[in-house]
Structure 1
Amino acid sequence: MKQKVVIKVAMNGQKSRSKAMKIAVVSGVESVAFKGKEMDEVEVIGDGIDAAVLTSLLRKNVGHAELLSVGSAEKKEEKKNEIVYAWNSYPYESVVSHYPIYPVYNRADSCSIM
């Protein structure tokens, strides 16, 4: 059964967020998102997550951490103000071409030289 754990962590900047992300991504975790008004809440969704151990690790390595909620992740809530980071095994998997694509019109009445 999937569960959703929300932990409020005192983070100072991007370095603290990346450190919290590395700690939160453990086996069984499907997604990690930063939520809240100040992006100080870490929402972890996965299977078999030990919320107390995760809170303790965040408290030791990042800053003051407070466990806000633990529940099932069956409902999809409305996304308002969050940052979601995706971890791909190959970073160039979805490379988009930066060259413009112009439509080609094949008209019978147009000149074939131009």
Structure 2
Amino acid sequence: MKQKIVMKVQLNSERCRTKALKIAAVAKGVSTVSIQVEKEHVEVIGDEVDAVDLAKSLKKKLGFATIVSVEEVKKPEEKPAQQPEPIQWASNYIHYPQYPAVQYYYDGSYKW
């Protein structure tokens, strides 16, 4: 099950941002990591990521880290491809059966 973990960390400088990215990217099961600098949030999306372990390692290196939210990532529902409706022709005309065309060949051997 994929989950999205949002953590609040202290991002004072570019060095802190780089450290946070490296720590989150190395964690087991992480597939994507992003940082929102204005909110000071690190978003981690992955399969079976341990949020508590990740928070401990971020707190150890950066000094401050708390878990804001952990939620399951839902797959977007796929809509079945819409097939165009078949064209309905008006049957105002008579359908005649189609017979195979017969071709006769004259080779000049028959005489009257």
Q: Same fold (TM over 0.5)?
A: yes
Which residue number corresponds to residue 41 of structure 2?
Answer: 41
Q: Write the deviation string for residues 11-59 of structure 1: whole angstroms up to 9, x where unpaired.
A: 11110011001100123111001126x2510000000100001001101
The TM-score, its normalising length taken from structure 1, stands at 0.61
Q: AA paired with 1:59? A: K
Which residue number corresponds to residue 19 of structure 1?
Answer: 19
The TM-score, its normalising length taken from structure 2, stands at 0.62
Q: Is the 8 A contact 1:11 1:63 kept in 2?
A: no
Runs of 4+ that moved beyond 3 A: none
Q: AA paired with 1:32? A: V
Superposition deviation, residue 62 in structure 1: 1.1
Work out whether 1:65 is the aligned partner of 2:65. yes
Superposition deviation, residue 63 in structure 1: 2.3
Number of residue pairs aligned between Structure 1 and Structure 2: 75
Superposition deviation, residue 75 in structure 1: 6.2
Distance (Å, rounded) in 1 between the aligned partners of 2:40 and 2:60:
16
Q: AA paired with 2:63? A: G
Q: AA paired with 2:53? A: V
Work out whether 1:54 is the aligned partner of 2:54. yes
Q: Secondary structure in 2 aligned to 1:12? A: coil
Percent identity, aligned pairs only? 45
Distance (Å, rounded) in 1 between the aligned partners of 2:7 and 2:75:
18
Q: Is the 8 A contact 1:4 1:45 kept in 2?
A: yes
Q: AA paired with 2:11? A: M
Unaligned runs of at least 5 residues, structure 1: 77-114
Distance (Å, rounded) in 2 between the aligned partners of 1:18 and 1:39:
16
Q: Is the 8 A contact 1:7 1:41 kept in 2?
A: yes
Distance (Å, rounded) in 2 between the aligned partners of 1:74 and 1:20:
26
Unaligned runs of at least 5 residues, structure 2: 77-112
Q: AA paired with 1:4? A: K
